[in-house]
Structure 1
Amino acid sequence: MGAVMLQGTGSDVGKSVLVAGLCRLFANRGLSVRPFKPQNMSNNAAVTHDGGEIGRAQALQAIACRTPAITDMNPVLLKPQSDRTAQLVVNGRVRATLGAGAYQATKRGLLPEVLAAYRRLRDGCDLVVAEGAGSPAEINLRGGDIANMGFARAAGVPVLLVGEIDRGGVIASLVGTKAVIDPADAATIRGFLVNKFRGDPRLFDDGFAAIERATGWTGIGVVPWLADAARLPAEDAVALDRSAMSGDGPLIAVAMLSRIANFDDLDALAAEPGVRLAMIPPGRPLPGDAALVILPGSKATIADVAFFRAQGWDVDLAGHVRRGGHVLGLCGGYQMLGRRIADPDGIEGPADSVAGLGLLPVETVLGPAKRVRAIAGTHVAGGAPFVGYEIHAGTTAADPGTRPLLRFADGSTDGAVAGDGRIAGCYVHGLFDRAEARAHWLARIGAASDGFDRADTIDAALDGIATALEQVLDVDRILAIAGEAE
């Protein structure tokens, strides 16, 4: 049947959610659908069925398609480690760590691998729904582009342009994109969508028509504010900057590290009505009334240990422990809770060895090998089952006699527990997604779980979004445009 690509007038206009919703919509119509994003930049990654890693959004879109996630769905993934460097993951495997300038010189050579991944996907399904990155209006990045028009034109995939109205300026952003991009790129755009509209969409009829006249593009529809989107994993950490405290009951505080990674670990807790989850930004102390403090994953653990101390959070955390509070470290946060983190090969930057926070009797050595796998097991104490995944570089060794936190299905163990059990850490992401596992952790702080598995919540949200899109978009027109793909 073909392919269609959603590009945006800017970042965070809702492309990922729209692609996920369209994937579920077309899957509900009985089509074999696959998501695709040629290049992604995110520290929220997911483990694929074929043992690699891709952006979290593409894994969610695979769920929407009711198909296992594979590395072809996101062949190029950039994972920022600092303001100027990122780890380059190609076809699910780490290839290099590059500076921004070096990547700009490298990306052109990645286009053949991107096209090969796309063609493998398209050959195995009815429809590919692709997603751009950033905006095609970033014309300073057009040379060697593989994320937007560079891919779309090379692959012969028609484009729908998404503009977001919630923050204003949607007419200017859509018309302005047409004005600044190359005419051949503009010809690739077959229509546009207006996203995140609040209120009566008929109030925008004149604006919609004005965009059609000014651009010559067909309007595909006005998408309302989708409340169900809040129940889906967020990929971009910008969403955390706008997050408010959730729920009611015991307080769970999460330190917003400078290179926070895989923060969708926290989504299941944020949805719990019986607790308050607060993301603590830089410049604010860890709250003294927290029942549980979580140190989340990090893409640059050594740098984030220094960042943690620079906020004074090490002092706050020590006070929290003295008052009898609970502490949990996940992946990079687990490494930070140990006595020492060594990076002899310079994996994260210059070779170094630094003191950790000293709350767990473990030491970590970072290395070039990365463990990427899905995992399942039980909690050693209590036996609550969990499902999750590992994505981490390095090994962590515990002192003899240290209690592990988790037991995997193969009998091996992971993590560490200190003292009377109030301080713990492990490498497993997704630890709270199973209702039984979440209930185990909430019971420790005097709260009860709502009893819902995270997977069921996500699936229901995707169906809700698909239903909403079916009502407001010209779906048959989208399929006709997809049929124009080469």
Structure 2
Amino acid sequence: MGTPRTPAVMILGTGSNVGKSLIVAGLCRLFADRGLKVRPFKPQNMSNNAAATAAGEIGRAQALQARAARIPPHPDMNPVLLKPESEAGSQIVLQGKVAGHLASGDFSRRGDFLPKVLESFERLSSGADLVLVEGAGSPAETNLRARDIANLGFAHAAGVPAILVGDIDRGGVIASLVGSHAVLDEADRAMIRAFAINRFRGEVALFRDGVETIRQATGWPCLGVIPWFAGAARLPAEDGLDLRQSVAKPNAELKIAVPILPGIANFDDLDPLRLEPAVDLDMVPRGRALPGDADLIILPGSKTTLRDLAALRAEGWDIDILAHRRRGAHVFGLCGGYQMLGRVVRDPHGLEGPAGEAPGLGLLDVETVLEGTKTVREVAFSHSASATAGRAYEIHLGRTEGPDRVRAPFRVWDRAEGAASADGRVIGSYLHGVFASDAVRAACLAGFGRRRLASTLSYDSDVEATLDRLAAHLEKHLDIEAIIGLARARAEQS
């Protein structure tokens, strides 16, 4: 009999965006509140929504899961992060650090990352009572199976049993679960020990026959049918599939417009604004003009600044932004959006795509050069105009310099950060997460609006309360003891 392994179970999905990330987050909170040392783990993630930790970058979803588990985030929770730069490929972040570029068709290289993935998993497991592993996409993509490290390839290598989750809200859940079983080989089917249904609307009893159809066709037991959890919209989104449709607020006191750029990154910066009762946040898709009645336009973060700057011009949004500026309204650029507001953006070494440069929007007297080591760090900051303070993070390449930096909107420790126009109506900053601070957000919104806003949102408390409700929701509708049993069965195998 060998040394017992750390209990672990893997949550797979029949496709992307079926709710794997939130189920893992909710289970992390549930088990943490039971007194267990629980750790989230995702072998491979593909997202431009990243989080900075003390030791490097990870996917934003894993940072939320760590928060749910009441522990600091760490790169070992997401050892492979692929950040799409274009349809041609992605930046590789390996155990928190940039490690080159992966061409979109080079699937064979992904298997090369498995030793690092297993190294991180073993290190993370050490001292833990339970590890909750999240898959990526679908395990039924058999064309990718030979070099898979994100789903059943990892499950086999680490000996972790899996639960397959289907999303009934999108339709076809019976076919997606039974079809997954049908295309998997016998060894892969054996790694999946049970299934669950997510996002059910209506009377669960009406789906009993559906559950039985899946059970008979697959041999897998059902661990639960999870009703729709409306609170999911209050938690940070994982990737571009989670960009939510704008919900107009007719009585809002402040209207903010945000163009959805092709390489939009770290758009969870906007979540606190979206949840503000007095703010109407309009996420504007391509093909629609930026609204002329907006009080503020926010240019969000971008993984590919030059490409997104070209896309912005192709949409005619540059014309909308310049007209907005002439009307005396406000513009705020975050990270890549900050770079776009300057006179020019240069990428001489092709760090974010083909080497080149392009004129910016010219709304700030600064210039950006993409070069040098990538900056990834958590920071304490203060808002210069109000002296309010908070925690934020930086994830960016390059330097931005110019005369408008003398009016920096923020301070990070002992240095100025960002830039502002002479009239203070155009602001840019590399800081992500500034709006998560209630005091800073209130001060910024007061400066942007026609009237002072009355905010009733305590953002951090709201996220914590939502995680608590999510945990209670899962405890009510999933067979938690069966999940623990699967995890412990792994631990008993030598």
Q: CA RMSD in A?
A: 1.2
Q: Distance in 2 between matches of 1:77 and 1:360?
A: 33
Instruction: Say which of 465, 474, 481 aligns to 1:460.
Output: 465
1:404 pairs with 2:408: yes
> Corresponding residue for 2:3?
none
Residue in 2 that maps onto 1:433: 436
Would you say the 8 A contact 1:246–1:270 is kept in 2?
no
Query: Superposed, which structure 2 residues align to 1:123-162 within 5 Å?
Result: 123-162=126-165
TM normalised by structure 1 equals 0.97
Are 2:275 and 1:271 equivalent residues in the alignment?
Answer: yes
Match of 2:484 in 1: 479
After superposition, give the CA deviation of every residue in 1:334-372 in whole Å (9 maximum; x if it has no partner). Answer: 000000111111111222121000000110000141000
Whether 2:210 is the aligned partner of 1:226: answer no
Q: Partner of 1:47: helix, strand, or coil?
A: strand
Q: CA deviation at 1:223?
A: 0.4
- Give CA deviations for 1:157-209 in whole Å, capped at 9, x if unaligned: 00000000011111110011000011100000010010000111111111111
**Which residue of structure 2 aligns with residue 11 of structure 1?**
16
| Kept after mapping to 1: 8 A contact 2:364/2:404 | no
Instruction: Assess if the C-alpha contact under 8 Å between 1:250 and 1:447 holds in 2.
Output: no
Q: Distance in 2 between matches of 1:140 and 1:182?
A: 12
Is 1:424 aligned to residue 443 of structure 2?
Answer: no
8 Å contact kept, 1:7–1:148: yes
1:27 equivalent in alignment to 2:32: yes
**How far, CA to CA, are the matches of 1:400 and 1:137 in structure 2?**
52
Work out whether 1:70 is the aligned partner of 2:74.
yes
Matched, 1:337 2:337: no
Match for residue 188 of structure 2 among 171, 178, 185: 185
**Matching residue of 1:375:** 379
Q: Which amino acid aligns with 1:138?
A: E
1:49-99 Cα distance to aligned partner (Å, 9 max, x none): x32000000000000100000000000000001012110000000000221
Distance in 2 separating the partners of 1:317 and 1:441: 20
1:393 has 2:373 as partner? no
Q: 1:95 aligns with which of 80, 99, 114?
A: 99
Match of 1:302 in 2: 306
Q: Percent identity?
A: 55
SS of the counterpart of 1:369?
coil
Tell me, in whole angstroms, the C-alpha distance in 1 between the residues paired with 2:301 and 2:212: 46
Tell me how far apart the structure 1 counterparts of residues 453 and 364 of structure 2 sit (CA, whole Å). 27
Q: What per-residue deviation string (whole Å, max 9, x for no partner) do you get for residues 281-320 of structure 1?
A: 1111110000000000000001111111111011111110
Residue 192 of structure 1 aligns with an amino acid whose one-letter code is F
Contact 2:253 2:453 in 1 (8 A): no
Taking structure 2 as the reference length, the TM-score comes to: 0.96
| 2:291 corresponds to 1:290 | no
1:7-28 residue CA offsets vs partner (Å, 9 max, x unmatched): 0001110000000001111111
Residue identity opposite 1:265 in structure 2? D
Distance across 2 between alignment mates of 1:79 and 1:469: 31
Deviations 1:245-295 (Å, cap 9, x if unpaired)? Answer: 457232100011110000000000000010100001111111000000000
SS at structure 2 position matched to 1:402: helix
Q: Distance between the aligned counterparts of 1:336 and 1:228, measured in 2?
A: 34
Does structure 1 conserve the Cα–Cα contact (< 8 Å) formed by 2:199 and 2:227?
A: yes
What does residue 201 of structure 1 align with? Answer: 204
Deviation of residue 241 (structure 1)?
A: 5.6
- Pair 271,241 (structure 1): closer, same or farther in 2 beyond 3 Å: closer
Deviates more, 1:150-159 or 1:225-234: 225-234
Cα distance between partner residues in 2 of 1:196 and 1:401? 48
Tell whether the 8 Å contact from 1:272 to 1:449 is kept in structure 2 after alignment. Answer: no
- Give how far 1:242 is off: 3.5
Structure 2 CA distance for aligned equivalents of residues 250 and 317 of structure 1: 17
How many Å apart are 1:402 and its aligned residue? 3.0
Structure-2 separation of matches of 1:245 and 1:194: 31
Letter in 2 for 1:94: V
Partner Cα separation in structure 2 for residue 124 and residue 242 of structure 1: 42
Q: CA deviation at 1:218?
A: 0.9
Structure 2 distance, partners of 1:345, 1:391, is 18
Report if the CA contact (8 A) 2:405-2:418 is conserved. no
Query: Which structure 1 residue ranges, 5 or more long, are not aligned?
Result: none
* Ranges in structure 2 where 5+ consecutive residues have no aligned partner: 1-5
* Whole-angstrom CA distance in 2 between matches of 1:128 and 1:137: 23
Which secondary structure does the structure 2 equivalent of 1:345 belong to?
coil
Letter in 1 for 2:68: A
Deviation of 1:142 after TM superposition, in Å, equals 0.4
Which residue of the other structure, out of 252, 259, 267, is the alignment partner of 1:255?
259
Which whole-Å CA distance do the structure 2 matches of 1:450 and 1:141 have between them?
48
Amino acid at match of 1:415: G
Contact preservation (8 Å) 1:299, 1:332: yes
- Taking structure 1 as reference, are residues 118 and 360 closer, same or farther at Cα in structure 2, changes over 3 Å only? same
Superposed displacement of residue 465, structure 1: 0.5
SS at match of 1:304: helix
CA distance in 2, matches of 1:351, 1:207: 54
Q: Is the 8 A contact 1:347 1:368 kept in 2?
A: no
Q: Contact conserved, 2:366 with 2:404, CA < 8 A, in 1? A: no
CA distance in 1, matches of 2:291, 2:258: 10
Report Cα offsets for 1:371-413 as digits up to 9, x if no partner.
Answer: 00011221111212132100001111122773111111x2101
Counterpart contact for 1:160–1:192, Cα < 8 Å: yes
Alignment check: 8 A CA contact 1:246 1:278 kept? no
Residues 319, 190 of structure 1: alpha-carbon distance in 2 compared, 3 angstrom cutoff? same
The whole-number CA distance in structure 1 between the counterparts of 2:202 and 2:351 is: 50
